Amino acid sequence: MSLHRPILQAVIVFLSVLTAASLAPAPAAFADEPDPLFCIGNATVGLTVSSSTVGPGQSVTVSWRVTSDCPGIVHEITGHGFGYPEAVASTGSRTVTPWGDSTWTLTARMQNTSKTATAAVTVPLPPHDGKPVVHIFANDQKQLFQQAVGVANARVLIAGDVDLDLTGLASIRVAPGVQIIGDRTAFPRGPRVFTTGFPRKLLLIGADGETAPSDGVRITGIRLDGGQGTDPAASEVADSDGIVVSSSREVEIHDNEIYGWRGAGVEVRDTGGRISLGENASTVRVRDNYIHHNQQFHENGYGVVVSNGAYALIERNVFDSNRHAIAGDGRPGTGFLAYRNLILTGGGDNSWYNQTHQIDMHGREDCWLIEFWCGPAGEYLDLRYNTVLYTRGVGFRLRGKPSIRADVAHNVFAAEPGVDPPAVDQTDGDNLRTWDNTFDLNTYDETGYCDFDGDGRADRFLATGATWWAQSSLAGRWVYLNTSTRRRSAVTLADTNGDGRCDASVDGMAYGAGQLPRRTHMLVRKSDRTAETVWRVGQDGGLAGQRTAASLGGREVLGSGDLDGDGDSDLVLRSGTMISLAFLTGDAFVDNGTVEQQKSLPGAVLAGIGDFDADGTDDVLWRLSDGALELWFAGRELRRGSPGWSWPGQPVEPEWQVKGIGDVDRDGHADIVWSNAATGQVSAWLMAGAQRTGNTIYWTQDPQGPWRLVGVGDVDGDGFADLVWRSATTFELIVWLKTGSARPTYQNNGALPDAAWAFAGLSDVNGDSRADFVWRHTSGQVAVWFLNGGQFLGEAYPASLGTDQRLEALLPMAPRKPFAGNDPGSNAARVPDVRGMTLAEARDTLRVAGYVVGTVAEQVDATCNNLGLVVSQVPGAGVYPPGTAVKVWIGSRPPVCP
């Protein structure tokens, strides 16, 4: 016990000292300290802005004042242009440029008591066709850019000569429906959008954990520069990503140059579970980009990476000098569809990190002392028709076992399968399937030269053994031409269609990098046939303009097709027993009168329109009352369409009905698709002009019950016509993708319109060489479904029909070879009507026709309906000598739009 007494005494002494101190009188200053409730309650807190509404790029002054007799009050402001929060003096002001509708909050705080004041400013964007439109013309307009992309459905147009410096900005939110479009008219490489600040993420399309993703975003035509340069060891700063897509659908990133990002050029994430293999694997589409020099002095360095359960369609891109061109993090539900990409020899830099496989899927476990080298590795991967020329690392490395499998087919690898590093490798697992791949092939030196972009200089042509490419001298980038195993020696390089640009041809089929983008107009007609209007539909599916067409005189519209070979759709009309043609010029129809070899066709119906003889003009197929077929060839003379006569065969049983016209076997000739009304069986006659080739394709796996064949068209862009079916009970669609003579495969669209939506037809609306679906609702609303094969990418709503209007015809537009005068030897040609086109479209259209754009001027568009579009031209549509310069006026904004 005695051993404890000294300790106890010490404790008692210590407690006595503490007690004495606690009982001592407090200093006078503590007794006089103000009461926070009293001080804050009697303080005045004021915050104002110089204007409640400002225009894009304009500034406001934020002013504040806190008055109180009490010391010790802290003053803070949060909001754009301030910290989060930022301590400020009791009074002051600051001029800021808001990037969108903004709110500031001033807080006066003392201990746990506070008082706040707020001020707000609205920054409306100028509307166009119901959507905000912002033009970026200067290098220092980053605040305007940030504001614009934060507004839903805004179109942000960046001039081609702009170097837009976004340094200092990070995590820029891109709102739903936003389109960021770079102008390549004067500068084919497109505007540069760059940062030197290495933000962790620059552009955010959606964000993790948020309930409102950014669906429907499109980024095209820009150079997105992350600032890293070409030396991966030049900087030691943290990872930096260019574009991050999070759980957002219907996103398209195309025709850009993306480079210099230390983390990833493009990352696609799906923490929200909205991008699944079953329905939305291709809803995020990364296509036709040049993605290069994305790497650093350790890991990461991805061109495109998918993570956290996401999928992406990665197609027709060119990759060079990335540590991994395409990668996945291996988490459950993650995968990618990689088709027709070209991976050049640059690859990764093995001098500092030897894991430089170009296509990669991580495993989620560590094995053999290597991270992410085994275990679960995503869900499903599909690699087809890619070319990998890089050989210093593995071409495709699967670092584990996907929950479904990985399919690798029809690819070309420069590496050999049995050497180190191999072309294809799976480190763990047994569900990597490979077939019909080509190894140890590098055709990079088997090149040809021809002017594919029409600038007068030869461009390089490359046939890899899987795909064809042309390297444009205008922009320096490779452009996809075609999927083909034919090598350079089998390909003819020449301008086959007279558009001033080279085409690559084999077996009578031509493919050109300089072909104008396809688009679709729509013919809208009053129900009583007294007036017609042509809707110009933009490639985004929106209504780009409309113009009243020349009257068709009440005649019945039977069908549309290019009957004079100029690329514009024309009309076949009927009045009684008289058949006549009307040719589309610009947005107006020019009547060609009745056909010369006309005859009465009692009981005949127009069965279809297509190019049966592969001469560049469409022909008209009739089904006569006795079941026989009659084919009218449109002819090749300019502004004619007088039919020739042909009888392809004997009458066909009445239960067999012509359901569509399309090139089923990809030989350049239109074929006839039949359906048996009694049995539901589908077959096709393979045609060469008016003659059957002797072959008939029968599909034995026909949909049963309520399914009806509603359309024929090339839905997946492979050159073969596909079949579209619709259920009469559920109203859903399925697509049969057709490859050669193989049986079609089902591809469920996944979106289910109801009975109020009528299927109006197939046409390539967005210019990606794939047919899209056009719908008409009973309310009058017209809609477009954008497709990639059988996968639904997104939808658009051009406009609504009036109660007395109907959608009469789709008018596909695909410029072809022009004809001079009335015969090929004439020294005159026809100037096309370019009104309603963008300047870029007008330049290309005039160039194809043999003309050039001269002076470009502005003309105030009082209606605000044609801003940025050609509103006038001199000379107008008519016959003029080739080479004539056409002056155009572009619609500009008036002081106030109605």
Query: Tens digits of per-residue pLDDT, 668-678?
Result: 778 899 888 87
For the ranges 513-517, 562-566, 675-679, which has the lowest average pLDDT? 513-517
pLDDT value for 497: 62
pLDDT value for 232: 66
Torsions phi, psi for 128 (to 5 deg): -150, 120
Tokens 């960021």, located at residue: 180
Cis bond before residue 85 (omega within 30° of 0): yes
Report the C-alpha gap between 476 and 256 in whole angstroms. Answer: 12
pLDDT value for 250: 82
Q: Is the model's pLDDT at 798 over the cut of 60?
A: yes
Torsion-angle region of 88 (φ positive above 0: left; ψ -120 to 50: alpha; else: beta): beta
> Residue 867 — pLDDT band, cuts 50, 70, 90?
confident
For residues 414 and 391, is the Cβ–Cβ distance under 8 A? yes
Q: Is the model's pLDDT at 517 over the cut of 60?
A: no
Query: How does 95-111 read in b/e, with b if 16+ C-beta sit within 10 Å?
Result: ebbbbbebebbbbbbbe
Sheet holding 691-699, edge to edge: 656-662, 671-676, 682-688, 691-699
> What mean pLDDT do residues 528-539 have?
83
Question: What burial class does residue 872 get, using C-beta atoms within 10 Å of its C-beta: 0-12 exposed, 13-18 middle, 19+ buried?
Answer: middle
Question: What burial class does residue 112 get, using C-beta atoms within 10 Å of its C-beta: 0-12 exposed, 13-18 middle, 19+ buried?
Answer: exposed
- Write down how long the chain is: 898
Report the C-alpha gap between 820 and 371 in whole angstroms. Answer: 66
> Residue 748 — pLDDT band, cuts 50, 70, 90?
very low
Q: Is the model's pLDDT at 104 over the cut of 80?
A: yes
Token pair belonging to 817: 């070879």
Token pair belonging to 180: 């960021």
pLDDT digits (tens, 9 = 90+) for 837-853: 778 778 777 776 677 88
Q: Is the model's pLDDT at 820 over the cut of 70?
A: no
- Identify which of 62-71, 508-517, 873-882 has the greatest average pLDDT: 62-71
Taking the complete model, does pTM exceed 0.75, yes or no? no
Torsions phi, psi for 564 (to 5 deg): -125, 5
pLDDT digits (tens, 9 = 90+) for 327-382: 999 999 999 999 889 999 987 765 555 678 789 999 888 898 888 788 999 999 99
For residues 137 and 162, is the Cβ–Cβ distance under 8 A? yes
For residues 325 and 348, is the Cβ–Cβ distance under 8 A? no
Give percent helix, percent strand, percent coil of the chain, each to the nearest 5: 5, 45, 50
- Identify which of 240-254, 504-518, 763-777, 809-823 has the greatest average pLDDT: 240-254
Q: Which residue has the higher pLDDT, 317 or 364?
A: 317
pLDDT digits (tens, 9 = 90+) for 630-643: 888 764 333 334 44
The Cβ-side half-sphere exposure at 345, using a 13 Å CA radius, reads 7
Torsions phi, psi for 525 (to 5 deg): -135, 145
pLDDT value for 205: 96
For the ranges 160-169, 264-273, 507-516, which has the lowest average pLDDT? 507-516
CB atoms within 10 A of CB 291: 31
For residues 829 and 818, is the Cβ–Cβ distance under 8 A? yes
For residues 775 and 519, is the Cβ–Cβ distance under 8 A? no
pLDDT digits (tens, 9 = 90+) for 425-447: 888 989 999 988 999 999 999 98
> What mean pLDDT do residues 695-708 have?
61
Walk me through the domains of the chain, giving residue ranges and CATH numbers: 34-121 (2.60.40.2410), 127-435 (2.160.20), 447-508 (no CATH), 519-813 (2.120.10.30), 829-892 (3.30.10.20)
Token pair belonging to 892: 């500009």
Report the C-alpha gap between 785 and 451 in whole angstroms. Answer: 35
- Identify which of 206-210, 335-339, 544-548, 816-820 has the greatest average pLDDT: 335-339
pLDDT value for 814: 66
Tokens 């049983």, located at residue: 653
pLDDT value for 611: 86
pLDDT value for 483: 77
- Identify which of 79-93, 310-324, 514-528, 743-757 has the greatest average pLDDT: 310-324
